[in-house]
């Protein structure tokens, strides 16, 4: 949230919208987290709040990062990133794939592949719609770095899907062969 507030002072609502079109692929927050965070930032003197009145609309509570807030952010940015606990439900299901028919595993991988293709498309959209629009903004090279991570990752996953589908289909054919022999 502090990072986002460096771009410009914003409301909780704005923060949510902005995260959804920028860092959504690797970081998500929801209102039930954002609003208490903003409250806390203000209490700790890391951000200041001021309210904007609007006609026929609820008030907007705009938060701006303070000098102290920016320092706290920079301190956090310099600390090594903690590695998140990785959990991949698809891989877990495939790991125990022998328990279910081959067609089930194939379908899992196929739909996962489709999702990846859609994700790749959103990256291209982000590239053209968001990043290029802000150019020349000093943030852009860093945004592109994060985006390129997604591209590399997603392309690799699609390659793995193709490889896996081939392997599973080969197993399927061998099963069919055995079945005809047993007839």
**Interactions with DNA, residue window 23-42 (CB under 7 A):** 28-33, 35-36, 38-39
| Sole binder of a second copy in the list 68, 90, 129, 166 (CB under 8 A) | 90
Q: Give the span between the Cα atoms of 102 and 167, in whole angstroms.
A: 11
Q: Could you give the angle at the alpha carbon of 149 between the alpha carbons of 167 and 126, nearest 5°?
A: 110
Q: Give the span between the Cα atoms of 117 and 146, in whole angstroms.
A: 18
Which three-class secondary structure state does DSSP give residue 74? helix
Q: Give the span between the Cα atoms of 161 and 111, in whole angstroms.
A: 10
Stretch near DNA under the rule CB under 7 A, chosen from 57-65, 95-103, 125-133, 139-147: 57-65
Q: Backbone phi, then psi, for 52, in 5-degree steps?
A: -110, 125
Q: Any contact of residue 88 with DNA (CB under 7 A)?
A: no
CB nearer DNA, residue 12 or residue 69: 12
Q: Any contact of residue 85 with DNA (CB under 7 A)?
A: yes
| Sole binder of a second copy in the list 95, 118, 121, 125 (CB under 8 A) | 95
Q: Any contact of residue 98 with a second copy (CB under 8 A)?
A: yes
**Interactions with a second copy, residue window 106-125 (CB under 8 A):** 108, 111-112, 115
């Amino acid at each position: 949230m502090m990072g986002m507030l460096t771009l410009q002072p914003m409301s909780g609502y704005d923060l949510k919208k902005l995260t959804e079109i920028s860092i959504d692929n690797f970081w998500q927050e929801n209102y039930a987290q954002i609003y208490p965070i903003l409250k806390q930032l203000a209490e700790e003197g890391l951000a200041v709040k001021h309210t904007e009145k609007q006609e026929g609309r609820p008030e907007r509570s705009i938060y701006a990062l303070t000098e102290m807030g920016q320092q706290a952010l920079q301190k956090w940015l310099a600390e090594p990133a903690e590695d998140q606990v990785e959990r991949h439900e698809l891989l877990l299901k495939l790991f125990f794939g022998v328990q279910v028919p081959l067609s089930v595993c194939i379908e899992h991988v196929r739909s996962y592949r489709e999702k990846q293709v859609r994700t790749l498309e959103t990256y291209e959209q982000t590239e053209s719609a968001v990043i290029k629009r802000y150019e020349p903004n000093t943030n852009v090279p860093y945004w592109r770095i994060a985006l390129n991570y997604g591209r590399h990752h997603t392309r690799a996953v699609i390659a793995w899907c193709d490889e896996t589908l081939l392997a599973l289909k080969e197993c399927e054919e061998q099963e069919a062969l055995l079945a005809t022999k047993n007839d």
